[in-house]
A and B are shown apart, each in its own frame.
Chain A
Amino acid sequence: MAIAQSPSASGLPYRWRRSIEAVLLPILALLVALIIFGGFCALAGANPLAVYGSIYKAAFGRWSAWQNTLIRAAPLMLTALCTALPARLGLVIIGNEGALVIGGLAAVVTALGVGTALPPLLVQLAMAVAALVAGGLWIMLAGALRHYRGVNETISSLLLNYIAIALMNHLVEGPLRDPNFVTKPSSYEIAELNWLGEIPGSRIHWGLLYGLVACVIAYGLIQRTSFGFAARAAGSNVRAARMAGLPVGQLTLAVCFLGGSAAGLAGMVEVAAVQKRLNESLVSNYGYAGILVAFVSRHNPLATVLVAILLGGILASGGILQRSHGLPDATVLVFQGIVFLCILASDSFYGRLPGFREG
């Protein structure tokens, strides 16, 4: 990956050029995606310009739209870390959905166990800790299998998703089931005192803050600590890191634990702020979307925030495509697919744009 630096058309210093490039490329990709999607809409009989206008208005047009976008972005920031942190060590974890479900399960069980015996803040703390630990251990299992048994972590974490969801479904139809809640098999409700409320002056729940803080901490951890340095070093070359005496095993377990705990926390936020109980609605693709967010942000936790907001905006605009333009519900999926494919493709253009070309 090391690219030889050499003077080129642009007289700017190397670092600056890379930074401008890092901003410019995704924007160009987004524009290309919009053009392709516009063509798609035109074929489907909608006016592309009107569609762009509606998407902007529905996602970022006003404060209410922004809130819609941020609410959808909040869980994605947390689930993305589940892929982004282990990726620093060269691991491809896709068990985000499972870790989220297990985190939600742990949070609900904790909340139901503690009840109202403790002050709400402590209960919320206990729920968060339970979710962090449970989600962390869940993904750490994939890391441990990788390290001790050589099991491919991508596949094992994928399988763990299905197992987590089956376990949750089993529990909410069996031991945890609240027979008085009739719309779907669900656990008992978390006591209202312990719900995670909204940020004052908005309808955005506190989960957004959790997500932002987690991303900032993750960034600091990776970029500013010796742990992060060791992880990055080991990620770029495991064999060399082993030779240099880095504890690759412990690092593997640690990044997996941290990643899983972020997704677990997303599960806690989802049950404590949104669902208030445990049921199948917890499985709503935040985990899989998080994988993409992580890759598109190149596993940089700060970029994750921006990409999560972008995806949140796309999701927020999905409804307006149906309501104002008569496009079917699948249009937003096509839009997402095009945007992500374009941004992923743009990654390969680093150092290949005119003016940014490597010597």
Chain B
Amino acid sequence: MAAEALGWWGVPLGIIAGTLRGSAPFLFVSLGECITEKSGKINLGLEGTLLMGAMSAYAVSYLAQGWLGPVWSPWLGVLAAGLSGTLLGLIHGWLAQQPRVNDVAVGIAMIIFGSGLAFFLGKPFIQPQAPPLPTFEWGSWSQLPQMRAALRVSPLFLLGVAIAPLLQWFFRATRWGLQIRAVGDSPQAARAMGISVFKVRLASIVAGSFLAGIGGACLSLYYPGVWTERISSGQGLMAVALVIFARWNPIQCLWASLLFGGAQAIGPAFQSVGIDSYYYLFNAAPYILTLLIMILTCSPQRTLAGSPGALGQDD
């Protein structure tokens, strides 16, 4: 039981461990938002989707453990999270493409609607304990319990890591990926090519919401592994900024998610070795960093490399 204290080494280890644990939701939501934004629409409502996903995953994992057993029921929960994301994505995808309707406004309404629905339906599941997702024990070689705990990796996280390069390839090399990019860069041109802008955007938004829903499952079934109404604390909204930070590049979304996930561990890790001032400011570090990087890398003369041309414009 008694573990050796790590002292200052605990800070980097804590941040690495926090990164492995905490970045999965960021990863899924940002990959989802990446698909959405590539098609030229913004979905701020992923905060609501994340909550809905977290709630449905937890609820289904809990309810299904009776007949599926605690090994498989969490996976059904993950699927349920994806499906609930899909449903919210359909609403957003349809509504945000209507004439005179702004996608940012729909997103904020969807945050309210999605979180309201998640809280409403989630009331009975706050108390019970649902079976969590299994983890890979990659640290069993180590003598250090801290190392063993840090290297307890979720398969969902690995799935997310695998999706990132796949998505990169998808955008670069497949016809569908090309269509999404075409729609995002210039809807008029895409229409001229015979692509249905509406369908492509709807599909992108729904796919993005599906991933965000799974991001919610990471929160409730892996880390921190509970369902409460404050579980997301703004991570879904943050993912929108994260995608821009990552320049709409799935691989960079992965790095950015790791950075943001790790940043959550900075405040507690520093306090645990006695640096206990400025913790609010430490906690705000990812936001400040994103803003700084945006300021340094943007330029008024040209749009950002990778930026979908039609993003945030009504058409």
Contacts and interface: CB of A to CB of B under 8 A. Distances in A.
Interface stretch (A56-64, A143-151, A192-200, A226-234): A143-151
Interface string A118-149: 00000000000000000000000000010111
A150 B300 contact: yes
A19 interface: no
Interface of B: 42, 44, 91, 95, 98-102, 104-106, 108-120, 123, 229, 234, 237, 240-241, 244, 278, 280-281, 283-284, 287-288, 290-291, 294-295, 298-304, 312, 314
Contacts of A114: none
Contact of B288 (A158, A163, A173, A337): A163
Contact of B284 (A152, A162, A331, A332): A162
- Mostly helix, strand, loop or mixed at chain A's interface? helix
B95 A341 contact: yes
Contact of A328 (B104, B106, B120): B120
A165 B287 CA distance: 11
A330 interface: yes
A235 to B, nearest CB: 11
A150 B299 contact: yes
B113 A347 contact: no
Contact of A348 (B98, B112, B240, B299): B98
Nearest to A327: B120
Contacts of A150: 298-304
Nearest to A333: B116
A110 B280 CA distance: 23
A335 B114 CA distance: 11
Interface residues on A, range: 35 or more
A332 B116 CA distance: 8
29 contacts: A92-B102, A92-B312, A145-B294, A145-B295, A145-B298, A150-B304, A151-B295, A152-B244, A155-B294, A159-B290, A162-B234, A163-B284, A163-B287, A169-B280, A288-B111, A291-B104, A292-B105, A329-B119, A330-B115, A330-B118, A331-B116, A333-B120, A334-B113, A337-B109, A340-B112, A344-B101, A344-B109, A345-B98, A345-B101
A337 B119 contact: no
Nearest to A352: B99
A238 B113 CA distance: 34
A224 interface: no
A340 B109 contact: yes
Contact of A155 (B119, B241, B281, B314): B241
Given A162-B234, A337-B110, 16 more contacts: A94-B108, A150-B300, A150-B301, A154-B104, A155-B290, A159-B241, A159-B287, A163-B288, A166-B281, A166-B283, A170-B280, A288-B111, A292-B105, A330-B120, A341-B106, A348-B99
A341 B109 contact: yes
Contact of B294 (A156, A295, A344): A156
Interface in A165-188: 165-167, 169-170, 173
- Mostly helix, strand, loop or mixed at chain B's interface? helix
Contacts of A291: 104-105, 108
Contact of B112 (A94, A148, A163, A336): A336
A338 interface: yes
A100 to B, nearest CB: 16
Nearest to B96: A344
B100 A347 contact: yes
Contact of A152 (B111, B294, B302): B294
A326 to B, nearest CB: 12
Contacts of A333: 112-113, 115-116, 119-120
Contact of B241 (A44, A158, A165, A350): A158
A337 B113 contact: yes
A147 B301 CA distance: 10
Contacts of B295: 145, 149, 151
A46 to B, nearest CB: 12
Nearest to A343: B109
A337 B301 contact: no
A148 B295 CA distance: 10
Contact of B281 (A158, A170, A341): A170
Contacts of B278: 170
A330 B119 contact: yes
B117 A334 contact: yes
A160 interface: yes
Contacts of A44: 120
A340 B95 CA distance: 12
Contacts of A1: 100, 314
